[in-house]
Amino acid sequence: MMYRMGMMIFPLLLSGCLSLDPAYQRPAAPVPTTWPANTSSAAGIPELVGWQQAIDNERLRNVVERALKSNRDLRKAIADIEAARAQYGEERATLFPTLNAGLDSTHSRTLDSGVSSTAEAQGSISSFELDLFGRNRSLARGYKELWLASEETTSSTRLTLIAETTTAWLTLAADKSNLQLTRETMRSAADTLRITQARLSAGVAAATDVSEAMTIYQSARASEASYRTLVLQDINALDLLVGDALPDELLPDALDTLPEQTVRLVPAGMSSAVLLRRPDVLEAEHNLKSVNASIGAARASFFPSLTLTASAGTASSSLSNLFSGGSKVWSFAPSLTLPLFTGGSNLAALHYAQAEKKGYIATYEKTIQTAFSEVADALARRATLNDQLDAQREYVAAAQRSQVLALNSYKSGVGDYLSVLTAQRTLWTAQLEWIALKQTDFNNRITLWQALGGGIG
């Protein structure tokens, strides 16, 4: 009997292939196909490089690998993927009937008939809705797209984590350079202060010279304490990103000791279509596809639904002959529901889904525009950065020469101390700006790699 029921139901199951989802078309990217003029710094390549190729420093690679394993934000994003996958599996399960099996045995005693017993075994399909108009399939497709969107969210989190970890590591290197420079400045200022005090004792310098020499020494001393604090805070920030305390051997040296290729420069002369591979853009598209499926589910709510409840089995007065001499029992109860009047709720649900789709289209387009702007900004900075680095390098060299000349003139009694003080402050400021510019160079490289989508690996 159950076999005959299955043969009756199977053709009906096959009929549940109708879909009322709107035909999906990817919205056109509302950005130019090429980057703004004069911003591309290198010839294009068909694929972006993975982070292992973008980072050419063994210590930094090790730090990033640790972050990818232990960072709590990334763990949370991975857990969200698992939750979304489970929701999809739960919704997809509604496409299949639920089969149950049961065995019941009852013993009773009455005054009239004495002791009696009954036994029943049955298999049943409980309240299975045939997906005649694809409503359940549309809902399942929507949950699948949400699952895929959560995977892209995780990819975006991973990409951001790589960039933030690299930036934090480079920030620590820059502050180590600043600390080292400030200590050198403090030592130089202390030497100049001793020279000035000796000249005051010899009667060839004014007391104001000693006071001015003291100001630059104490200024460097205060900055040295500040940079010591920043270095410790940078280590704490890096440990938080990684999710564990880093050993000292993985921490960077001073920034000015790092080679230029510590972060490789990503070629960016490719089409802006590369932005369609960015995780946040893919996430926005999956969300758009999900709400597109919601429209199909809302449309299907206007049509009848057919629910089946069926069972078949055998019953006997004793458990011992249940399967050998028992009588066959079965039931089949189809239920057809036609929505005649819903107070406009079905129509409102459809309008809501259609309005949501318009919103998700706008979100998708805005995501692409934001991605294009981020890349264009990074390229614009890249276009002028080399010229600024060259100019700053020459500025530091000139300031060093001026400081040496001013100090020598003062020692020989030809120059005044104000020139020495001005030269020392100018050199110190120029060197700090040079370190900041080198950090900007490294950060721009990782920002450009991230903005273009990060590549594979």
- Alpha-carbon distance of 150 to 158, in angstroms, equals 12
Q: Give 456's contacts (C-beta < 8 A, 6+ positions apart).
A: 47, 48, 50
Q: What is the pLDDT of residue 13?
A: 45
CA Rg value for the chain? 37
Q: Which structural domains are found in the chain, ordered by start?
A: 21-96+132-303+346-451 (1.20.1600.10)
Per-residue pLDDT of 375-412, as tens digits, reads: 889 888 988 999 999 999 999 999 999 999 998 888 88
Per-residue pLDDT of 217-236, as tens digits, reads: 898 999 999 999 999 999 99
Residue 192 has pLDDT above 70, yes or no: yes
- Backbone conformation region of residue 127, classed left if phi is above 0, alpha if psi is from -120 to 50, else beta: left
Query: Regarding predicted confidence, which is higher, 425 or 109?
Result: 425
Q: What is the pLDDT of residue 206?
A: 80
User: Taking the complete model, does pTM exceed 0.85, yes or no?
Assistant: no
Query: Regarding predicted confidence, which is higher, 293 or 251?
Result: 251
**Edge-to-edge strands, sheet with 305-316:** 99-110, 114-130, 305-316, 327-337
Q: What is the pLDDT of residue 205?
A: 73
- Confidence at 297, pLDDT banded by 50, 70, 90: confident
Per-residue pLDDT of 34-70, as tens digits, reads: 777 655 444 343 456 788 888 999 999 999 999 999 8
- Rounded to an integer, the average pLDDT of 253-264 is 92
Percent of the chain with pLDDT over 70: 73
Per-residue pLDDT of 84-122, as tens digits, reads: 677 767 666 665 666 655 555 565 555 566 556 665 555
Q: What is the pLDDT of residue 7?
A: 41
- Confidence at 440, pLDDT banded by 50, 70, 90: very high
Q: What is the pLDDT of residue 5?
A: 40
- Confidence at 456, pLDDT banded by 50, 70, 90: low
Q: What is the pLDDT of residue 1?
A: 39
- Backbone conformation region of residue 195, classed left if phi is above 0, alpha if psi is from -120 to 50, else beta: alpha
- Rounded to an integer, the average pLDDT of 295-312 is 68
- Confidence at 441, pLDDT banded by 50, 70, 90: very high
Per-residue pLDDT of 3-37, as tens digits, reads: 444 444 444 444 445 777 888 888 888 888 777 76
Average confidence score pLDDT of the chain: 79
